[in-house]
Amino acid sequence: MDIDGLGEMAKTIRRDIIRMTAEANSGHPGGSLSATDIIAALYFKVMRHDPKRPNWPERDRFVLSKGHAAPALYSALARSGYFPAEQLLTLRKFGSPLQGHPEMGRLAGIEASTGSLGQGLSIGAGMALAGKLDKKDYQVYVMIGDGESEEGQVWEAAMASAYYRLNNLTAIIDYNSQQLDGWVRDIIELEPIVDKWRAFSWHVIEIDGHDLHQILKALDEARATKQMPTVIVARTVKGKGVSFMENNVEFHGMAPTEEQKELALRELS
């Protein structure tokens, strides 16, 4: 898929996020919208995966450590062909495999059950180490939230990944600068985030997380880096694409009303 196609797919995913969370009257639209462009690039350009063979041993793996952004992942999986897109509107409904956080084993394409923040990089590091031991050439991608990066387990996993030289592991920080309780800087300041990851012996790339050219270039550079794992610090906007949601912390975990849904869909048309 070319850049224009990826842009249209990202817009489709954003529309899905709005419809899903509005239908459920629950969910996390803000952090899902900020992650959308990166997830679109991974699933429709970069990652080696096959919806007809979700357990294909040679596939690349994606772990959504910030599991509350599940609507973006569910949309990408559906639009890739893992399950019918009509099923997206069952988000968070009783009996649906599309729960508020990804649940492994209930939905094709989900690589890990996540949502207890801080655990995803450890899971991804285990996958990457297994790939080394099995002499596989798959890549592992882990998306982490910036608020999530306040968890100590993230840094334990970062230290271990560098120690084992997991050059088949790429962490992506969705740095939208907000978390549940407000601005990240007012809770636990992460800066200088680039220096911190470099100090943990990771290759660091800093990008605009909504610029598809920068996203693709960074992912290519990560795959080409052979000495160490890579972290992409993706500067993003919470609620990206919907004017009244952008940088609005209320939409971290608040679904749009019916009126807001229609307004958002008009903006994303």
Q: Which bin fits 48, alpha (ψ -120 to 50), beta or left (φ > 0)?
A: beta
Per-residue b/e over 160-189, b at no fewer than 16 CB within 10 Å? bbbeeebbbbbbbbbbbbbbeeeebeeeee
Determine the Cα–Cα distance for residues 14 and 241; give it in Å rounded to an integer.
Answer: 8
One-letter amino acid of 222: A
What's the DSSP call for residue 49? -
Mean of pLDDT values over 22-45: 98
The answer to whether residues 184 and 177 touch, using CB atoms and an 8 Å cutoff, is yes
Instruction: Give 159's pLDDT tier (boundaries 50, 70, 90).
Output: very high
CA dist 105 to 6, 98, 111, Å? 28, 11, 8
φ, ψ (nearest 5 deg) of residue 158: -65, -40
Query: What is the mean pLDDT of the segment spanning 19-23?
Result: 98
Instruction: Report pLDDT for 233.
Output: 98
pLDDT of residue 77: 98
> Residue 156 has what pLDDT?
98
- Per-residue model confidence (pLDDT) at position 147: 96
Predicted local confidence at residue 127, as pLDDT? 98
**pLDDT digits 0-9 by tens, 218-238:** 999 999 999 999 999 999 999
Q: Which pLDDT band holds residue 4 (cuts at 50, 70, 90)? A: very high
Kindly calculate the radius of gyration of the chain based on its CA atoms and give it in whole angstroms: 17
- The pLDDT assigned to 211 comes to 98
Domain ranges of the chain: 3-267
Give residue 66's pLDDT.
Answer: 98
Residue 67 DSSP class:
G
For residue 57, say if its preceding peptide bond is cis, omega within 30 degrees of 0.
no
Q: What is the pLDDT of residue 139?
A: 98
Residue 216 backbone dihedrals phi, psi, to 5 degrees: -65, -40
Look up the CATH architecture of domain 3-267: 3-Layer(aba) Sandwich (3.40)
pLDDT tens digits, one per residue of 171-203:
999 999 999 999 999 999 999 999 999 999 999
How buried is 69 (Cβ within 10 angstroms: 0-12 exposed, 13-18 middle, 19+ buried)?
A: buried
Contact 183, 243 (CB under 8 A): no
Q: Which residues contact 224 (CB under 8 A, 6 or more apart)?
A: none
This prediction's pTM: 0.97
- Spatial separation of the C-alpha atoms in residues 73 and 108, rounded to whole Å: 12
pLDDT range class, residue 61, cuts 50, 70, 90: very high
Closest CA to 115 of 61, 157, 180, 65: 65
- 75 and 106 Cβ atoms separated by less than 8 Å: no
Task: Categorize the per-residue pLDDT at 54 as very low, low, confident or very high, splitting at 50, 70 and 90.
Answer: very high
**Residue 100 has what pLDDT?**
96
Q: How does pLDDT run across 109-147, given as a tens digit for each residue?
A: 999 999 999 999 999 999 999 999 999 999 999 999 999
